[in-house]
Amino acid sequence: MAGITDEIRAQLVQKAIAAREKAYAPYSKFSVGAAVLGTDGKIYTGCNIENVSYGMTMCAERTALFKMVSEGCTEFEAIAIVAGDNVTDGAPCGACRQVMGEFAESLSGTEVILASLNGDYIVETVASMMPYPFVKFRPQED
């Protein structure tokens, strides 16, 4: 969707930075924050949530996306992610990219904003982050 302005991107980045403060990461000590703009116009935030049984850990991106879906919105226009001093420190894992593919309003248009703690960011898309996603059984076409 066109219409994501620099102002909205900066707002999402600041929300992701704030959400990162809530990270529960006593094992890796690696905090991640995410902020998702749903097509309902609301912003959903998330942080990573670890567990002593390490495999139970949930990433920040999926926390935010699942919060959105659980609140009744199943498509998003943009997601901002922040982890560290470099914009690529928060580059999403493969599982999160797959989930982004499920809920992206448009694979080629939905923005993935990779941000640093000082507010710098680069803009990618769900499609650029994951070429040839598995979408065969997705309900809607892009």
**Interaction site with ligand THU (CB under 6 A):** 25, 28, 30, 32, 48, 50, 57, 59-61, 92-93, 96
Please name the residue ranges forming H helices in the chain: 6-20, 60-70, 94-103, 126-129
Q: How far is the CB of 69 from ligand THU (least distance, A)?
A: 17
Closest to 47 measured CA to CA, from 72, 69, 24, 30: 24
Closer by beta carbon to ligand THU, 92 or else 101:
92
Q: How far is the CB of 48 from ligand THU (least distance, A)?
A: 3
Q: How many other β-carbons are positioned within 10 Å of the β-carbon of residue 43?
A: 20
Instruction: Report, as residue numbers or ranges, the catalytic residues.
Output: 61
* Residue 7: partners with Cβ closer than 8 Å, 6 or more residues away: none
Closer by beta carbon to ligand THU, 30 or else 134:
30
Please name the residue ranges forming H helices in 3-138: 6-20, 60-70, 94-103, 126-129
Closer by beta carbon to ligand THU, 50 or else 102:
50
Q: How far is the CB of 5 from ligand THU (least distance, A)?
A: 25
Tokens coding 44: 């959903």
Q: How far is the CB of 13 from ligand THU (least distance, A)?
A: 16
Closer by beta carbon to ligand THU, 38 or else 92:
92
